[in-house]
Amino acid sequence: DDSTYEAINIPEAHFHLIKEIIEDKGLSGFNVTIPHKERILPYLDEIDDQSKTVGAVNTVKIEGGKWIGYNTDGIGYVTGLKQAYPDLQNAYILILGAGGASKGIVNELNKHVRPKLTVANRTMSRFDNWDLDINKISLSDAEKSLAEFDIIINTTPAGMNQNKDVAISLDQLASHTLVSDIVYIPFKTPILE
């Protein structure tokens, strides 16, 4: 098998060249990450039902010249979360960020466990096209009510790569709260420290 998995950095200013870049490399598929999960949609020939629901794609398969988009953010994350927090059904969950990954996770949680969900974002207008049944609050309001939550999930790019930012201060965090971050580079992000 001669498959490889490598990062290809495509700046926002050059994203319109995505088809050329990928086709020049002769790839059979690729993953999409922040900030391109929604931006990729117009370049796809088909998308799965999950992607239609959340309006974001994180995996593209190229088959017979067709680009097919999938969203596995939700199912992948929630599967792991159930292992870490078996009583997920009764959890009060705060999700930081309102991008494509957040939508995927919210949609999956709503489908399977229906916990009490709150999503916090810096910009409230980001929720304008959200069609999901959840509480929506600002990051500053979330910071004031941290003690109410059993699980906090960061889906913002804060802490990614060399970014040392955190989405919110966790000073008011309850001792029982599980904190999770979907950012995986670095392994231990500032919000987890």
CATH 3.40.50.10860 boundaries in the chain: 12-70
> Which residues are catalytic, by number?
37
Please give the pLDDT value at position 166: 58
- The pLDDT assigned to 55 comes to 87
What pLDDT was estimated at residue 1?
Answer: 65
Please state the pTM of the whole predicted model: 0.77
Where in the chain are all domains bearing CATH 3.40.50.720?
Answer: 74-192
pLDDT in tens, the chain (193 residues): 678 888 898 999 999 999 999 999 999 999 998 789 899 999 999 999 989 988 889 999 999 999 999 999 888 899 999 999 998 888 999 999 988 788 889 988 887 666 688 999 988 888 887 777 788 999 899 999 999 999 999 887 654 545 455 566 778 888 999 988 886 654 565 455 6
In whole angstroms, what is the distance from residue 69 CA to residue 46 CA? 6
What 3-state DSSP class applies to 103? Answer: helix
* Three-state SS at 121: strand
Tokens encoding 35: 């900030």
Bridging pattern class, strands 46-47 and 66-70: parallel
Residues near 56 by beta carbon (within 8 Å), at least 6 away in sequence: 37, 38, 41, 71, 73, 99, 100, 101, 103, 104
Q: Please give the order of strands across the beta sheet that includes 151-154.
A: 135-138, 116-121, 92-96, 151-154, 178-181
CATH fit for domain 12-70, picks 3.40.50.11900, 3.40.50.10860, 3.30.70.2740, 3.50.50.60: 3.40.50.10860
Alpha-carbon span 106 to 9, nearest angstrom: 27
In CATH, the architecture of 74-192 is 3-Layer(aba) Sandwich (3.40)
- Burial track 128-161 (b if 16+ CB lie within 10 A, e otherwise): eebebebebbebeebbeebeebbbbbbbbbbbbe
